[in-house]
Amino acid sequence: MSTGSRRPDSEASTAGVSQSARAAAEVQRVLFEGECRVDVLATDDRGFAYGDGVFETMRAHCGALPWWERHWGRLAAGAHRLGLSLPPEALVIEQAMGLLAGGGGVLRLQVTRGRGGRGYAAAAGGVPTWALSRHEVPVTPPEGIVLRWCETRLALQPLLAGIKHCNRLEQVMARNEWSDPGIHEGLVCSLEGDVVSATAANLFVLRDGEWLTPQVDRCGVAGVCRAWAIDALQARQARIPTADVASAESLFVCNAVRGILPVARLGDVHWPLHPGVVALRARLASEHPAFSSPTQSGSLREP
């Protein structure tokens, strides 16, 4: 069983290698084509060429993945939507446990359609390429995060809405709109002007005592933590105009890596820490201890 140890050919060999490149080389990872371990991603892989695949980003704790069933279910739903084959779940779990080795962190699972020639047409019965990588848990602001509005808009595409496919260019463009470390996240809207989500998290809005979250039937990602929070809060999915966000009683964003993050400020609007959000974070921590000890500072980053 692989422990994801660093391979000699991934080591920085020159003094000119950047710090970020060294950090990337130190990430523990395994790569497979079907059930065969490989060392290098093929250049004709359709995930590399077209973003033809799906992925999950999971919080690990003491060698376990608390939301594994939810993540695998969403991955399978996305693969079914795209017509992709998945590797055997048992093999993926075996490799994940090997990488974690009883520890915690963030585990990313990516599955592509596999190798193919030029052109968009996909051959039937392809062997999927898949990779697992283990990363450090990103830091989290202890009290509340600061948001901004993004100018980038999300296109409406019901065929891809909800799933976590590998083409995240809209999120990349939205996140590149700012570099201020004092701003942790940005809210993005659809082309029709309704708020959809943050760049790497789902949004919940408290209005008139009711928790709402944007619908993701035309664009956006149906997050794993979002699904948990909908059940926990009996939240209603709705179209939410931007004005309703600015005038809300409370906001929080969430994802499967950071858990529940209360919003302290959006532009010039400030919110105190709401008791309902405090209770929700406590409930999440009691169910999944990985979310019981947030670390300080830093911008939101899930993918």
Q: What is the pLDDT of residue 125?
A: 78
> Of 135, 166, 200, which closes a domain?
135
Contact 113, 103 (CB under 8 A): no
pLDDT tens column, 198-248: 999 999 999 999 999 999 999 999 999 999 999 999 999 999 999 999 999
3 within domain boundaries: no
* Among 138, 147, 11, 164, CA closest to 74: 164
Q: What is the pLDDT of residue 26?
A: 60
Q: What is the pLDDT of residue 10?
A: 37
Average pLDDT on 174-183 reads 97
CA-to-CA distance for 19 and 282, rounded, in angstroms?
37
279 within domain boundaries: yes
Q: Are residues 56 and 116 in the same domain?
A: yes
Q: What residues are paired with 108 via a beta bridge? A: 57, 133
Q: Are residues 49 and 149 in the same domain?
A: no
* Among 297, 295, 253, CA closest to 137: 295
Q: What is the pLDDT of residue 292?
A: 85
Q: Are residues 163 and 239 in the same domain?
A: yes
pLDDT tens column, 256-280: 999 999 999 999 999 999 999 999 9
Which range marks the domain in which residue 286 is found?
Answer: 145-291
> Of 102, 135, 168, which closes a domain?
135
78 within domain boundaries: yes
Which residues are CB-contacts of 108 (< 8 A; sequence separation ≥ 6)?
55, 56, 57, 58, 131, 132, 133, 135, 303
Q: What is the pLDDT of residue 14?
A: 38
> Of 81, 108, 135, which closes a domain?
135
pLDDT tens column, 24-39: 446 799 999 999 999 9
Q: Are residues 17 and 93 in the same domain?
A: yes
Residue 299 pLDDT > 60, yes or no?
no
Burial letters 121-146, b for 16+ CB under 10 A, else e: ebeeebebbbbbbbbebeebbeebbb
84 within domain boundaries: yes
Q: Are residues 187 and 86 in the same domain?
A: no
pLDDT tens column, 143-169: 899 999 999 999 999 999 999 999 999
Q: Are residues 157 and 123 in the same domain?
A: no
CA-to-CA distance for 30 and 28, rounded, in angstroms?
7
Q: What is the pLDDT of residue 32?
A: 97
